[in-house]
Structure 1
Amino acid sequence: MRASGADPVLAVDVGGTTIKAEITDAAGDVLGSGSVPTPPGAAAFDAVGELGARLLAELPAAQRDRMMRAAVILPGIVDPVRSLAVFSSNVGWRDVKVGNRFRDRWNMPVLIEHDVAVAGWAEWRFGAGRGCDDVCVLILGTGISGTLSVGGRLVRGAAGQSGEYGHIPVRHRDGLRCPCGNVGCVETIASGAAIARAYTARTGREIPGAETVFEVMDRDPEARAVIADAIDALAEGLFGVIHATCPELIVLGGGLARAGAVLSDALQDRLHELLYVAPAPRVVLGEFGVRAGLVGAARYARSGTLE
């Protein structure tokens, strides 16, 4: 049966800790979903194949036969043209040829793309940034990355990828070593994992994640100090982007954005304090939250383009 724009699509979001997948119809209704922990290295691709195959097997035959296309979005550096997962410092792969492994496993066309490019595109075009031509979307989670749209166009860069905001050095003389090899990257201070590590280093108390630091900051001065340092690093990392392109809006997404207004308001205030030449953009929370990648991947699978 020939696929049409109304047929279901499979969206897979490979995160630093979890692989999530959904099958959705043209209305965006979820027909099937699942998740598995992300194995280290190239084994993550085997887990993607197995998760997608399981969701497809659980569909009624009539829906499975009408599957239109799949999109798999990957962290790190991705070359969609060559279907190559170039590098991921968080998951730990380098130069993995994706090729046709998913197409052959799932029996449908499969697109691959950069996870944050797709998530940021979704927030810009269909979520919190819709209607604005100049928007910076930051995805804050295991790592930090984002997208920039200027004049109504998504900036991709000469290599087809941009937005590695987490690897802008802001403490390059006395900072921590980043998995990317540099020192003092924004990601070593302001990612969820970095916030949790910094709080433990200050207090000696092990915590499950950065959410705990936000929860106790009202009554814990050490938590406030860690969050203030993270906000400062985010603001400094955005300086060049803001001065060069003057975005009207910064959208915060990813798991760390679940902290809510305490995060967006603090970053807004810090930008107002630090910026003298370029106007401070508004800072808002994303509309899709941690589902931005899946929402974007489904729309990308359906349209075949990030336009």
Structure 2
Amino acid sequence: MSKLVHLAHGDGGALTRELISRVFTRHFDNRMLRRQEDAAVFSFPGGQVAMTTDSFIVDPIFFPGGNIGKLAVCGTVNDLAVMGARPVYLTAGFIIEEGFEVEHLEQIAVSMARTASAVGAEIVAADTKVAEKGAVDGIFINTTGIGFREERICLGADMVKPGDSVIVSGPVGNHGLVILASRMGITLNNGLVSDCDCLWPLIREIVGCYPVRFMRDATRGGLATVLNELAVASKLELILHEQKIPVCREVMELSQMLGVDPLYLANEGRFIAVVPEESASGLVERLNRFELGKGAAVIGRLQEGSGGVFLRTRFGGTRKLDFLTGQHIPRIC
């Protein structure tokens, strides 16, 4: 491993895993952290509590479909939601650059309040620091979230089994491509916006009604990276079918023009779920009843194997999908 931290260490891929393993897992090691899930879950009388934390440095701060404030709340709520936890309380820490416009700060705060309120969560504590000009790029936000989970819900990579189906909740790649296009000054005239949204209203409709074994939101590193994490953690092989993976036409065309792979583009309002094969079609049908779940599809299955992810292409071939290596798009969230 390099002696210096590089931008690629923040892409959510192979170098991120290496940094976490060498520095943080090594020194913070404990039973809950070792699971490397989106939130730590611990029991209290009457139920379970999930807790997560995240930081946001997205560039640009305002983008089609959202801003850093909405993104901060959605990202934290979604990490709780994919653990089956109802978001209840959030904290927020703001690191603000000297000279940042107060009007923009208020817009961000309003977005955070509205987004949290829409899912029944409250921002109950906050902190503000101001750094001198040039020490911060506009504004960075750190959030922590706490949610409650019913004791009967049990999710994790150790729950999945060979033969299980893998589902994605909607078209992938929108957020990453919108951020990239905004940064490059590309005007999106086709109505394409970030998928940034809170997943809890969708997940609460399925988590108690279907035998969901695993969920994860496909953020940094995109769909391919999250599925690699699942394959490694479960020690199973994952077979995907390219023609079944939902990617909207605008994302596909612009990805080809810019030379990026939509399977590695970040999402901020999409999750993957693993369920027994016999439950997959019913779950997909249920998801598609909701606006946020439009386009949900079964995209593959788990089987005994080497712990890798393999894509059956639309041309009949097979290629291995590895962890993202190198910086795909920096500061995506």
Provide TM-score, normalisation by structure 2. 0.30
